[in-house]
Structure 1
Amino acid sequence: MDLNAKEEKKKIIQKIFSLLSIVVSLLIIGTIVYSRLEGWGFVDSLYFSTTTLTTIGYGDITPSTEIGKLFTVLFALTGVAIMLYSLTILGTHYIHYLDTHKPAFEHRMKKAIKTINPLSKKEDGWFVLKDKKKE
C-alpha cells in the first residue's frame, strides 16, 4: 500500500469516525433534552430520540409539553438531515471500497471456482461430481 493510499484510508476512517460521533452526539442530546423536558426516563428518551432520527416514529411515546413538541420539530428536521448526509457519505465510501477491491475479489473467486469439482449430468439424468483427474 503506497503512501497516498494510506493517507486516503486514514482520512476516510477519520471522516467515518466524525460522522458516527455526530450521530451519537445527536442521540445523547435528544436523550438528555427529552429526559428534562418531558420527564421521561433514560430508556424512553433514548428510544424516542432513536425512532425520531431514524424516521420510524412508532407513535407510542409522544411529547406532551409544548416546548417538547417544538424541540421535536427542530430535532427531527436537523437530525434527519444530518442522518441522511451521514448515510450518504458512508454509502459513498462503501461503494468506493467495493470498486477498489472488486478485481482482487473476482480473482480469488475465479481461483476458488477452478478448485471446485463441478457437477456433471449423466445420460440418465443424475448429477455426479466430475473427476478432475480424468480431465
Structure 2
Amino acid sequence: GRLTYSEMDQPLLVDKTSAQTALGRRLESCWAAWRNLNSYLKCAICLLVYYSIAMIGYSQSERWSTLDIIYFSTITLTTVGYGDIAPKTTGGKLTTIILIYSGILLVGSLLADIFETIFDAHEGVFLEELKEIRREAP
C-alpha cells in the first residue's frame, strides 16, 4: 500500500473518546516516568524550569541582568523578600505571581521527596523496633 495524494487529502476522523483515551495513556506514561525519576533529578529539572520561566519573563519585561533575575528568583523561591529589587511592569508582576505559585509547588514537592527518602531509609529500623515493642508488651 502506497499512500496517494487523494487519501492524504481526506480529513482524519477521530472520535472524541479515542482521542481522550490516547491522551490519557500518554499523560499516564509521562507521569509514571516522572515518578520513577531520582529525587535529585526531579529537583534539578524543576529548578531548571523555574529559573527558565524567570529568565524569559524578567528579561523581556523588566530588562534585568541575568544576575538580578537569578537573585530575585532565589529570594522569591526562598520567601526571604528583601525588597531591594521588585518588578515594576505588568509582565514582571505576572511572572512573579507564576514564580510564587511554582515555588510553593516546588518546595512542597521537594520536602515530600526528602521526607519520603528519610522514611524509606529508616522504615526497616522502625518496623524492627515496632516488632520488639510488641514482643515486650504484656
Same fold (TM over 0.5): yes
- Quote the residue 2:76 is aligned against: 52
- Structure 2, gaps ≥5 residues long: 1-34, 127-138
The structure that has the greater radius of gyration is 1
Measure how far apart 1:61 and its partner are: 0.7
Does the aligned pair in 1 maintain the 2:62–2:87 contact within 8 Å? yes
Amino acid in structure 1 at the alignment position of 2:119? I
Amino acid in structure 1 at the alignment position of 2:102? T
- Quote the residue 1:65 is aligned against: 89
CA distance in 2, matches of 1:70, 1:94: 36
Aligned CA RMSD, in angstroms, stands at 2.5
Measure how far apart 1:101 and its partner are: 6.8
Q: Which has the higher contact order (CA 8 A, sep 6+)?
A: 2
CA distance in 1, matches of 2:118, 2:36: 10
Q: Secondary structure at the match of 1:51?
A: helix
- Percent of matched pairs sharing the same residue: 30
Structure number with higher strand proportion: 1
Distance 1:69 1:97, change over 3 A: same
Distance 1:88 1:65, change over 3 A: same
Does the aligned pair in 2 maintain the 1:63–1:69 contact within 8 Å? yes
Measure how far apart 1:90 and its partner are: 2.1
- Quote the residue 1:83 is aligned against: 107
Whether 1:31 and 2:55 are equivalent positions in the alignment is yes
- Structure 1, gaps ≥5 residues long: 1-10, 103-135
Distance 1:12 1:100, change over 3 A: farther
- Quote the residue 2:5 is aligned against: none
Runs of at least 4 residues off by over 6 Å:
none
Aligned match for 2:41, one of 14, 17, 30: 17
Q: Secondary structure at the match of 1:33?
A: helix
Q: Which moved more, 1:90-99 or 1:38-47?
A: 90-99
Distance 1:79 1:50, change over 3 A: same
Does the aligned pair in 1 maintain the 2:50–2:102 contact within 8 Å? no
Amino acid in structure 1 at the alignment position of 2:121? Y
